[in-house]
Amino acid sequence: MRTTATSNVSELKTVVDYFYQWEKTQPDKVFLRQPFGKKFKDFTWAETGEQVRRLAGYLLSLGLEPQSNIGLVSKNCAEWIIADLAIMMSGHVSVPFYPTLTSDQLNQVLTHSGCQVLFVGKLDNWQGMKKGIPAGVSCISFPTYNPDPEHVQWDDIIAYSKPMTESPRPKLEDLFSIVYTSGTTGNPKGVMLTYKAMASVMHVTQDMMLYHLPETRFFSYLPLCHIAERNVVAVTAVGTGGTVYFAESLDTFAANLAAAQPTHFFAVPRIWTKFQLGILAKMPQKKLDMLLKIPILSGIVKKKIRKGLGLNDAKFILTAAAPMPVSLITWFRRLGIKIQEAYGMTENMGAVCMAPADAPKDGTVGKVYPGVEVKIMPDTGEILTRTEWNMTGYYKEPIMTSETIDEEGWIHTGDVGEIDSEGYIKITGRVKEMYKTSKGEYVAPSQIEFGFADNKLIEQICVVGQSLPQPIALVVLSEIARSVERDAVAQSLAATLSDVNPKLKSYERVQKIVVMREAWTVDNNMLTPTMKTKRNVIEKTYGQMMEPWYEGKENVIWE
């Protein structure tokens, strides 16, 4: 399917162009709000511009070749966005890295990218990561977050560096950023994205992203080095001239979100599951259902929940990056929280399709954007996309590039799916995640996992079983399950199994549910930084136990 519509070059505005606009027209408006306890450190557009220009001036003074790669490793904070803009303004390429990398992982991406300069910011384990810095890399420490005394100091640059006075406009064909993938399998790949790619996405999605709102507020907490957070929060905030609030820590997340009351909010499915379980821990489903049936009380309850989450002012609410069960979307819709699902990948700017706010189609990940072509491979069902905001390739990896982008410019996404006559896409699995059982039948685990979404005793699930006759489901229990007797939990899980299996093909039916002792987290390497399950890591970790679990007598087994 082909959809028309992109813009001609004269209409395109880069992120830098937008920044210059707001720096000039609303210098005193607050752009960035960084919490420290109950107080905020605010940066107006003018103050941000001053810091960006001094940092850019310093980078220029280093005498690097134009379009040099400059690294950035930090949790989300005001300085992250300031550094990113400074790299752009100085004519270099921003290369952000995940703040959860080990020293070896950081060494790998720094060596591969060839960064000569690295901004180092808000990190939990800098001393552990520090060992991975290659010789010859000059580091710049953010202020306030335990700056390393061996580094060039941010505050010194701001105090003594000569600011850039001109406002250079990048060439559209120049690289905007090299975005390293989260590396669910193998080493991360450096996706090369141009200013034209980003500007085209901004232009085509202006209406959908509500650029017209008189006031926009954003809440930044998912990794800014990921294409989704970079697009939806950082870039859209610059495009709309809005204000970005940050989360200080996991402990202050709820208070920080409540203070922000964002107009735009993005969360991956695992966050929505957390929100739902938090609500149900305070108000059981039966009580909630009863209250929602009472006309006047229903409105009060919905508003109280939305305000409690910090989403009462949200006009644009998005989920992406991983599959989200329809039941979860419809559950929040009953509360007046209308979540739009979107689909894309780093290689196409994360922008293939989005559910229209006024016409969602449950079971799909949205309607194809104007300017995007999509086709389905007849033999495998793989989704292919082609658009002017495709990546130019993987940095220093021509073979990998040719394996992903074919000679006609189609990106082979690795996702399996369908597209209907109206341009709505449905994802049914991943090519690499589909596996053959020992009976020789192909299984798409993510689709089976959706069937367990309504059991609120389950927080995480991974269906596995490549070497088994039938799949088994590994589950991590939710907080709610902790207050339930073990036998009752087992009965609930067995009941869900009995409900799900008849809806599946015979070879897809789940033989056992295994309850894990330990939750899957980013720290134990079971989740990516964007909270996708690392299926291959989980399968490898529990591989030796799968056959004994499968042969066990009970339907529900405790690790």
Q: What region, left, alpha or beta, does residue 227 occupy, with left being phi > 0 and alpha being psi -120 to 50 degrees?
A: alpha
How do residues 248-270 score in pLDDT, each as one tens digit?
A: 998 999 999 999 999 999 999 88
> Do residues 484 and 490 touch, judged by C-beta distance below 8 A?
no
Q: Of 312, 310, 309, nearest to 299 (Cα)?
A: 312
H or E stretch including 308? helix 295-309
Which of the four pLDDT bands, split at 50, 70 and 90, describes residue 213?
very high
- Helix/strand/coil for 318: strand
Q: The tokens of 89 are what?
A: 């303004």
How far apart (Å, rounded) are the C-alpha atoms in residues 462 and 446?
A: 8
pLDDT of 196 reads 96
Confidence tier at 322 by pLDDT (50, 70, 90): confident
- The pLDDT-based confidence of 279 (bands split at 50, 70, 90) is very high
Question: What is the pTM (predicted TM-score) of this model?
Answer: 0.88
Phi, psi at 306, each rounded to 5° = -65, -40
Sheet holding 117-120, edge to edge: 152-153, 138-141, 117-120, 69-73, 93-97, 175-180, 190-194, 393-394
| Structural domains of the chain ordered from first start | 435-558 (3.30.300.30)
Confidence tier at 4 by pLDDT (50, 70, 90)? very low
When pLDDT is cut at 50, 70 and 90, the band that residue 8 belongs to is low
- List pLDDT tens digits, range 330-366: 999 999 999 999 999 999 999 999 999 999 999 999 9
Cα distances (angstroms) measured from residue 34 to each of 232, 243, 361: 18, 11, 37
Cα 154 from Cα 107, distance rounded (Å): 23
